[in-house]
Amino acid sequence: MKGFDSNHLRTAGSLLSFILICLFALLSVLNVAVGIQAYEQIIQNTESNTQLRTSISYTANKIRAHDGLGKIESKQEGDIDTLALYQNIEGDDYITYIYCYDGMLYELFTSADTGFDPEQGEALIPLGSFCATVEENGIAQVYIDTDGVQYTQFTAVFSE
Model confidence over 90-140: pLDDT tens digits?
999 999 999 999 999 999 999 998 889 999 999 988 888 999 999 888 899
Supply the pTM of this predicted model: 0.69
Looking at the chain, the whole-number percentage of residues with pLDDT higher than 70 is 90
pLDDT digits over 104-116, tens only? 999 999 999 888 9
**Which of 126, 156, 118 lies closest to 144, judged by CA?**
126
- Give the pLDDT score at 101: 93
The sheet carrying 150-156 orders its strands as: 129-135, 138-144, 150-156
Beta strands 104-111; 92-101: pairing state:
antiparallel
Residue in 115, 102, 61, 108 with CA at minimum distance from that of residue 82 = 108
- Residue 125 in 3-state DSSP? strand
Query: Is residue 159 over pLDDT 80?
Result: no
CB atoms within 10 A of CB 145: 17
